[in-house]
Amino acid sequence: MRAWNKGETGYFIQTSGSTDLPKSMMLEREKAIWSCQKTANFLGISSADSVFCCLPVNRISGWMQVARALVWNIPIVVHEPSSNPFLNYHENCSIVSLTPMQLFDILQNQESKNRLNKFRIVLVGGGDIDIHLEHNLQGLGPIFYHTYGMTETYSHIAMRRMNLESEFTVIPGNEIQLNADNCLCIRNFITDNQWLETKDLATIHNQHFKINGRINNVVNSGGIKIQAEAIEKLLSEKLNLPEGSIFYFGKKDERLGQKPALAVNKKRIPHLPDIDNLFGEMSYAKPWEIVYKNDFVYTETGKIQRSQTLDMVD
């Protein structure tokens, strides 16, 4: 905030490291202002609003909340990040951004849930939303948005009304298209009006899109390509598994190239229920091996760091 008020035009932060090693990136003031203004128009921000920031401010998630408060000229309360930031919350803010993990933990505590219910807008980003978690929001007062974005786009470029919409709506000012691999591409002022290719597989309908997983999370087993996120979603929904407790991956295999395998976080699931009968016609996707890890490696926003977890010696 001191740097911003001095008029500095460049600010260094780190990327999250969810798909690669964290790296330093410079954010430009003009582009941050552009993003803040587009978000304000989309959400209908007014002078009566205020921001509760409980995400790391050295990452894009928290940094942009501070920038928004400065651009919108509204109050902001900055709280040390934790899995349940509402345990000691005594403010009266109207907007909060949370990770899915934080939202899950908040809903486990009735007092925290009551405090959540007083917000006007709750933005949930940094990972996929479990269907059971989303259903648990029904009947609560705030407007819940699942956000889509990344460090390179200065946080979100699209939002989805949870429990009402199945697809993300692109925030005006952003353009989208698919590349030859069906991965989402984004173009806007922040990308210097050049197409930015993501690793997210998507389907597009006008200014709406749905994410179908990541291209680098595809398991190629004997020529059959299996989308890891689709299997993880199938197992999580049918077995009602805790958020971030499993991930599907390919192990090197001389015959198949990759054989399907499943990593399980023993800290969250001491013993996985039988999964043999859950795949039906997708029997080819059934894991050949289940690997139990004492714990997973997560980013600060709760995303699983797959390669680091697999490299970890238990």
283 and 301 in one domain? yes
What are the distances in angstroms from CA 261 to CA 77, 104, 119, 221? 44, 27, 41, 11
The number of domains in the chain is 2
Could you tell me how far CA 255 lies from the centroid of its own chain? 35
Do 289 and 155 share a structural domain? no
CATH code for position 152: 3.40.50.12780
Cα–Cα–Cα angle for 181, 183, 187, rounded to 5 degrees: 125
Q: What count of other Cβ atoms lies within 10 Å of the Cβ of residue 254? A: 6
Range of the domain at 261: 222-311
Q: Which helix (H) or strand (E) holds 273?
A: none
Among 214, 249, 278, the domain boundary falls at 214
Same domain, residue pair 92 and 183: yes
This prediction has a pTM of: 0.80
Task: Return d(Cα 101, Cα 18) in angstroms, integer.
Answer: 15
Q: Are residues 202 and 226 in the same domain?
A: no
Q: Which residue, 214, 231, 249, sits at the end of a domain?
A: 214
The three-class DSSP label of residue 80 is coil
Residuewise pLDDT in 10s, the chain (314 residues): 999 999 999 998 877 554 445 678 899 999 999 999 999 999 999 999 999 999 989 889 999 999 999 999 999 999 999 989 999 899 999 999 998 889 988 999 999 999 999 999 999 998 778 788 899 999 999 999 999 999 999 999 999 999 999 999 999 999 999 999 999 999 999 999 999 999 999 999 999 999 988 888 889 887 788 989 889 999 999 999 988 899 999 998 876 788 999 999 999 999 899 998 999 888 999 999 999 999 999 887 778 999 899 988 77
* 137 and 115 assigned to the same domain: yes
**Strands 76-78 and 51-53: what pairing?**
parallel
Q: How far apart are CA 84 and CA 116, in angstroms?
A: 11
Tracing tokens 């470029």 back to the chain, one arrives at: 157
Q: Cα Rg for the chain, rounded, in angstroms?
A: 20
| Residue finishing a domain among 214, 246, 261 | 214
Answer yes or no: do 306 and 227 share one domain: yes
Asked if residue 23 and residue 140 are part of one domain, the reply reads yes
Please give the single-letter amino acid code of residue 158: A
